[in-house]
Amino acid sequence: MPEHRVLLRNHLGKDLTKLDEYKKLGGFGVWPKWVAQGPAAIHNEVKAANLRGRGGAGFPAGVKWGFLPNDGRPRYLVVNADEGEPGTFKDRYFLEDDPFRLIEGCLLTSYALNIHTCYIYIRGEFWRAIDVMEKAIADARKAGWLGKDIQGSGFDLEIYTHPGAGAYICGEETALIESIEGKPGQPRLKPPFPANIGLFGMPTIVNNVETLACVPVILEIGADGFNALGTPKNGGTKLVGVSGHVKKPGLFEVKLGLSLREIIYDLAGGILDDRELLGVIPGGSSCPFLTAEQVDQVTSMDFDGLKGVGSMFGTAGIVVMHDGTDLIDVLKRVTGFYRHESCGQCTPCRQGTGWLAAIVEKMDQGLADESHIDLLIDACTGIEGNTICALGEAAAWPVRSVATRFRPQLAKAIAARSAAFGS
Amino acid sequence: MMGSLAFSSTSKQRIAELVARYPRKQAALIPTLYVAQDQFGHLSDAVMQLVADELELPLASVFATAMFYTMLRKKPVGTWHLQICANVSCGLRGSDHLVGLVQDVLGIGPGETTADGLFTLEIVQCLAACGYAPALQVNKKDYFNVTPDGLKALIEELRTQRTEKSPETEAAHA
């Protein structure tokens, strides 16, 4: 089996929402050693581990932490648990089944960065996750792992959950900050970056759940051990979610650097009903789609391994489509999503996502011809690079990829719809 | 005018706990709106005014935030809020059949509520359960790998529970 489990432990049959069980598996075990070595040692170890941000962008976490200015202002750690990128369902695991791993990651990170308040922003639909995290925070506090003078170290930390309310855009870090402040989730212009002016105007680090869950692992096995699990500049393992037309959809953990084929065929059991592969979304629906031929060219699934095929590793939320897939139907769901989730702040995105959805709607109703594919591409060009945040690209790139890489199939589908329903 | 509308003592206590988490009162707005929604069912203008008074915020700030977020409900929903994910992964695994089944069994389409006020159907965006598709959320509870037969049985079960309040809707929200 090509799986390698360091983070994912749901096969052990333990109830890791209980602090005792978590500690039995070594939980909070690294604390005494690293407190003795001090905050800078932790920061250096994480930097050396090449931990890339697991929220999708893949920015090195240790480098991001280094952007905090040393000016005496209070600092915040914000955990991005607004998991909502279609195809992605990995952070749910930590929040619902292994909450202390996240708490331990927050504790070690906060200690390293001299932070005393941490907010975990959890998407509103994750009702159960919020309950589990609230209870875990209370239990950790009772046991002296949060609160004042943690384990006699003199270090103080409070962690609070904060619920989202059904807005995908709040996964963007500055929109998330606005949302915690009680405002509509509209992204801020950068600079200034959150590391300087973030939550409540203070220096703020925003990290993804899985990123922070890796921190205790790094401090246990060391930066060298973590690097050895991955590929150059890509330390560690990665949770990958496979969904869509596969025989065994689900959540897996692999060393960074497996081939995309291994994940789809060896882990997820291959294509449903043994049909032919049509295409794959490799890292959440904001990533350009790959054709079956391109899938074979992805020999290293890591943050650098998809540049050659013009896509992204993203969240490693892999959506597989077989040859019976109706591409117009898929486009309808994708464009409908971004139209619904555009925050409305920038005209190219607010209007453009509506146009994309409207053009696809026409295709679906049999009222389009092949020229509408060019219209789609044109609308994508109008959105890309013209917005404050990356939602514009997130909406345009998947559409452009289908319009260009799957043009023959899409044209065929358009013609079939016109013949069936068109006037 | 506002006489009949007031937060319960439980809600008041919960809001005080929430406010204590932040250096600014406005940061407690979204969680407070959930407290209000749990008590009153949805966020009417009067409820938003109540929240504004409680957090000492302009009504416009409360309104702007409430309007932005889908889960902050401006309209009432039925006792059982059937939320079917229809994003890509759930679509590939047959979520349309679930929508069709609700239409057949309950006679309601997306955004509609049954005449007896028991069920509301809503199509929602990705619930982050793509590997367990199709996914459904009823009020605050998740259902994964949902089949049309399973949904049919669930609807019948919920119908018989019409007078009970589901335990999950009573769970305190953070």
Q: What is the number of other CB atoms lying within 10 angstroms of the CB of residue B5?
A: 14
CB contact under 8 A, A334 and B88: yes
The pLDDT-based confidence of B166 (bands split at 50, 70, 90) is very low
- Residues 85-144, chain B: which have Cβ within 8 Å of A? 86-89, 91-93, 124-133, 137, 140-142
- For the beta carbon of residue A360, count every other beta carbon within 10 angstroms: 26
Classify A151 as helix, strand or coil.
Answer: helix
Q: How far apart are CA A375 and CA A373, in angstroms?
A: 5
B60 and B88 in a common domain = no
3-state secondary structure A39-54: HHHHHHHHHHCCCECC
- The domain that holds A57 is classified in CATH as 3.40.50.11540
Residues A116 and A87 in one domain: yes
Domain hosting B53: range is 9-68
Q: Taking CB atoms and an 8 Å cut-off, how many pairs form between chains A and B? A: 163
What pLDDT was estimated at residue B1? 45
Across A386-406, b (16+ Cβ under 10 Å) vs e yields: ebbbebbbbbbbbbbbbbbbb
Report chain B residues whose CB lies below 8 A from the CB of A134: 174
Q: Do A163 and B31 touch (CB under 8 A)?
A: yes
* CA nearest to A134 within chain B: B174
CB contact under 8 A, B65 and A330: no
If you measure CA to CA, which chain B residue comes closest to A321?
B92
Structure tokens at A214: 């890796």
**Residue A79 in contact with partner chain B when CB distance is under 8 A:** no
Residue B1 maps to a domain? no
Rounded to 5°, the CA angle A269-A274-A278 comes to: 95
pLDDT of residue B152: 97
Tell me, yes or no, whether A27 lies in a domain: yes
Q: Do B69 and A89 touch (CB under 8 A)?
A: no
Asked whether A249 and B144 are in contact (CB, 8 A), the reply is no
Closest CA of chain B from A277, distance in Å? 14
ipTM of this predicted structure: 0.96
Chain B interface disruption, residue of A89, A93, A209, A287, most B CBs within 10 A: A89
Query: Which residues in chain B have Cβ-Cβ distances shorter than 8 Å to A319?
Result: 88-89, 92, 130
A81 in Cβ contact with A126 (< 8 Å): yes
B42 touches chain A (CB under 8 A): no
B112/B133 same-domain check:
yes
Q: Binning pLDDT at 50, 70 and 90, where does residue B3 land?
A: low
The parent domain of residue A406 ranges over: 327-421
pLDDT value of position A162: 98
In the structure, what pLDDT confidence band is assigned to residue B163 with cuts at 50, 70 and 90?
Answer: low
Residues 6+ apart with CB under 8 A from A305: A231, A257, A298, A299, A313
Q: Which residue has the higher pLDDT, A62 or B163?
A: A62
A135 touches chain B (CB under 8 A): no
Domain count, chain A: 3
- Of B68, B94, B118, which closes a domain? B68
Query: Do the domain assignments include residue B4?
Result: no
Full pLDDT tens readout for chain A, 423 residues:
589 999 999 999 999 999 999 999 999 999 999 999 999 999 999 999 999 999 999 999 999 999 999 999 999 999 999 999 999 999 999 999 999 999 999 999 999 999 999 999 999 999 999 999 999 999 999 999 999 999 999 999 999 999 999 999 999 999 999 999 999 999 999 999 999 999 999 999 999 999 999 999 999 999 999 999 999 999 999 999 999 999 999 999 999 999 999 999 999 999 999 999 999 999 999 999 999 999 999 999 999 999 999 999 999 999 999 999 999 999 999 999 999 999 999 999 999 999 999 999 999 999 999 999 999 999 999 999 999 999 999 999 999 999 999 999 999 999 999 999 865
Q: Are residues A121 and A224 in the same domain?
A: yes
Q: Residue B167: what pLDDT?
A: 43
Q: Give how far B153 is from chain A: nearest CA, Å.
A: 23
Looking at residue A422, its pLDDT comes to 62
Task: Specify the number of domains making up chain B.
Answer: 2
Q: How many CB atoms lie within 10 A of CB A327?
A: 22
Which of B21, B30, B123 would best serve as a mutation to test chain A binding (most A beta carbons within 10 A)? B30
Q: Do residues A239 and A314 touch, judged by C-beta distance below 8 A?
A: no
Q: Which chain A residue has its CA at the smallest distance from B171's CA?
A: A131
Both A176 and A208 in one domain: the answer is yes
Domain's final residue, options A280, A297, A322: A322
B174·A134 Cβ contact <8 A:
yes
| CB of B60 less than 8 A from some CB of A | no
The amino acid at residue A272 is L
Same domain, B51 and B87: no
Q: Quote the CA–CA distance of A277 and A279 in Å, as a whole number.
A: 6
